[in-house]
Amino acid sequence: MQLGMLTACLPQWTLERVARWAADAGYEALEVACWPRTGGRDFEAAHLPVASFGQREADETRELFAKHGLGLSALAYYENNLHPDPARRAEIRTHLKHSIDAAQLLGVSYVGTFIGRDPTRSVADNLAEGERILPELVDYAGERGVTIIIENCVMEGWHPDGYPGNLAYSPELWEWMFSLGFYLNWDPSHLTWIGIDPIETIAPHVDRIVHAQAKDVELDPRARNRYGFFGKVDKSGNPWDMGWWRYRVPGRGQVDWPGVVDRLYEHGFTGTLSVEHEDPIWGGDDERITQGLGIAHRTLRPLIVG
């Protein structure tokens, strides 16, 4: 098992700067964010220009990682592959294929994304649509020696009523997406707040957990007594503010990290555990973000066999 980090938390940094900092901080691998530079989400990071990526860029990237002694665990482009707008869906699909092509050139095994959802349609209709359009992406990746991994994030902010916006949030839905050929970028934080014990999901699905993200979550039961499980109705313009939980760096929330890592080892996980930093306390500027990444490293490094 390697300890890595997702580069998306430092969107203004170059990949060279992220790699240098990560290596100095003791991280072993990077999960590299590759959103396009013009898009609709405020935390996008474009650390690889996958839309114009060629052999020269691949060679330079491999040299950069070798220079800093880092692995490249996955490329990350987490977008809504069932977007309701056909034009936007086509843009996402095209960029995901660019990411897959770049992964092939780099010799990277995994590209991460979301299943997504069309919030104007029922879950059943979305699953049927997914069965119609998503296998072509799996085939496209497979022909290039790449596996598509799906993060089990709920993405409640993508739905106008705060319902799941990514139909990959539960083991029931994992089994559905596995049947289409996807694998899992497993994240315990999302499972924790929706009431699923993350440790209990490892053994039944470890053959499909090929990459994992390390993000914690802090729950506030008193606030939940006011808002209920589904969170605030009045989010004051922030669709991600549920009111009773927030993401934290590992070690600052409720996730049992010794238990998680031990169970992953027990069942033979040999992939990368990649820190995903979305902690509002350790955010806002580069210094606090890197301090948060330092907290995550100090929490997880002693748990991973060197």
Domain assignment of residue 248, yes or no: no
The reported pLDDT for the residue numbered 205 is 98
Domain assignment of residue 46, yes or no: yes
Q: DSSP state, 237? A: T
Residue 44 has pLDDT above 90, yes or no: no
Number of other residues whose CB lies within 10 A of the CB of residue 290: 18
Domain assignment of residue 223, yes or no: no
Q: Residue 176 sits in a domain of what CATH number?
A: 3.20.20.150
Q: DSSP state, 51? A: G
The reported pLDDT for the residue numbered 42 is 46
Q: Judge whether 205 and 184 are in contact, CB under 8 Å.
A: yes
Residue 40 has pLDDT above 70, yes or no: no
Q: How much of the chain exceeds pLDDT 70, in percent?
A: 98
pLDDT in tens, 211-255: 999 999 999 999 999 999 999 999 999 999 999 999 999 999 999
Q: 49 is written with which tokens?
A: 């220009």
Domain assignment of residue 234, yes or no: no
State the Cα–Cα distance between residues 29 and 4, nearest whole angstrom: 4
- Integer CA distances (angstroms), 101 to 54, 85, 87, in order: 9, 24, 21
Q: 204 is in which domain, residue-wise?
A: 2-214+256-303
| Locus of tokens 């665990």 | 73
Q: Judge whether 303 and 258 are in contact, CB under 8 Å.
A: yes
Q: Is residue 149 helix, strand or coil?
A: strand
The reported pLDDT for the residue numbered 251 is 97
Q: 129 is written with which tokens?
A: 């649509």
HEC string of 174-230 equals HHHHHCCCCEEEECHHHHHHCCCCHHHHHHHHCCCEEEEEECEEEECHHHHHHHCCC
Domain assignment of residue 32, yes or no: yes
The reported pLDDT for the residue numbered 250 is 98
Most confident of 18-27, 31-40, 43-52: 18-27
Residue 39 has pLDDT above 90, yes or no: no
Domain assignment of residue 232, yes or no: no
pLDDT in tens, 91-141: 999 999 999 999 999 999 999 999 999 999 999 999 999 999 999 999 999
Mean pLDDT taken over the chain = 96
pLDDT in tens, 49-75: 999 999 999 999 999 999 999 999 999
The reported pLDDT for the residue numbered 37 is 82
Query: Total domain count for the chain?
Result: 1
Q: Judge whether 217 and 189 are in contact, CB under 8 Å.
A: yes
Domain assignment of residue 62, yes or no: yes
Domain assignment of residue 183, yes or no: yes
Does an H or E element contain 21, and which?
A: helix 15-25
Residue 43 has pLDDT above 70, yes or no: no
State the Cα–Cα distance between residues 272 and 32, nearest whole angstrom: 13
